[in-house]
């Protein structure tokens, strides 16, 4: 295992140190460049989606579209969109996780240090949202974390742990720890990458709410269920007409479908203000020049798919 000093150097990395962070804030992150997407050999979910019924969409979903992403840039707040996936090293560091905030529970494990020199939790360089992290190990497993703070020191509960949950996956199976989604599905098996166009797979969609698991709905889309894009729909036709990544994503949504992997909730917990659904797309400047940021679907153009 790497020494604490080595961990500190790797965690802070060289991309966003304290001084550069202050400079980027002053320029509203206009000159900040995200790292390239890591090309990783990951087990992907590929199950052909067979439409079986129309979804009984609650009123909140009528007119709702998926959020368009710009996974190659950060906004003026320094928050990136999408999902980072990183290559890890043989060297490891200690991670304390579990329990949740205020609960007297803590587990310990080892996770790979990042080959890039810095961990990229969701939202990085200004980690936010659920601070989800995905990092591969040279042994072929994939580590997923949620509410991951790589700079936090180990602490006893009720002080929050370094991560809320951690799971290690091999060939689509969680072999240690627990899944980081309420539905039990892994993110990395569904994240669309710059190389998915030539090797398409199931997509993942995050909805504001659903039926089952941690959802509050009694009718509508089901947690862990699969949706499929109707080829006769306006969304499919618009995205295909755009070509490029939009066409490839639309074809994947129509052939393999979208797994309902997690929920995002509501703005200020107001049930009349659902957060926009979003597709899981890998973050990085490899997307520069693509039209992936134009991809969006109308929710009512999605059908319920066979439960497989």
Q: How far apart are CA 60 and CA 220, in angstroms?
A: 10
Q: How far apart are CA 114 and CA 93, in angstroms?
A: 10
* Span 118-162, pLDDT tens digits: 999 999 999 988 999 999 999 999 999 999 999 998 877 777 789
- DSSP structural state of residue 201: -
Average pLDDT over residues 180-187: 96
pLDDT of residue 15: 53
Residue 217 tokens read as 């709905």
Average pLDDT over residues 60-74: 94
The pTM for the full model equals: 0.91
Residue 252 tokens read as 């994947």
Residue 178 tokens read as 């627990």
More reliable by pLDDT, 212 or 154: 212
Is residue 283 within 8 A of residue 37, CB to CB? The reply is: yes
Average pLDDT over residues 26-31: 92
pLDDT of residue 112: 98
* Span 228-262, pLDDT tens digits: 999 999 999 999 999 999 999 999 999 999 999 99
pLDDT of residue 102: 53
């Amino acid at each position: 295992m790497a020494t604490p000093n080595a961990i500190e150097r790797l965690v802070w990395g060289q991309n966003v140190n304290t001084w550069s962070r202050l400079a980027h804030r002053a320029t509203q992150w206009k000159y900040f460049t995200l790292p390239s997407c890591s090309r990783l050999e990951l087990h992907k979910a590929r199950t052909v989606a067979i439409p079986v019924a129309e979804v009984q969409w609650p009123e909140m979903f009528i007119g709702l579209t998926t959020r368009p992403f710009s996974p190659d840039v950060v906004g003026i707040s320094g928050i990136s969109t999408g999902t980072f996936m990183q290559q890890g090293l043989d060297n490891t560091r200690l991670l304390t996780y579990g329990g949740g905030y205020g609960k007297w529970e803590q587990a310990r494990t080892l996770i790979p240090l990042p080959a890039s020199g810095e961990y990229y939790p969701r939202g990085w360089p200004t980690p936010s949202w659920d601070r989800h992290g995905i990092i591969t190990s040279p042994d072929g497993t994939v580590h997923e974390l949620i509410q991951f703070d790589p700079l936090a020191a180990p602490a006893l509960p009720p002080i929050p742990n370094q991560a809320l949950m951690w799971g290690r996956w091999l060939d689509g199976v969680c072999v240690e720890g627990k899944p980081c989604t309420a539905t039990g599905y892994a993110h990395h098996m569904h994240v669309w990458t710059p190389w998915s166009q030539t090797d398409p797979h199931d997509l993942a969609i995050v909805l504001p709410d659903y039926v089952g698991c941690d959802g509050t709905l009694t009718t509508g889309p089901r947690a862990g269920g699969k949706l499929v894009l109707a080829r006769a729909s306006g969304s499919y036709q618009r995205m295909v007409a755009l070509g490029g990544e939009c066409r490839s994503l639309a074809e994947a949504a129509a052939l393999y479908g979208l797994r309902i992997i997690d929920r995002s909730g509501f703005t200020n917990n107001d049930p009349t203000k659902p957060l926009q659904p979003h597709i899981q797309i890998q973050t990085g400047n490899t997307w520069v020049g693509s039209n992936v940021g134009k991809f969006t679907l109308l929710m009512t153009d999605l059908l319920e798919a066979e439960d497989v």
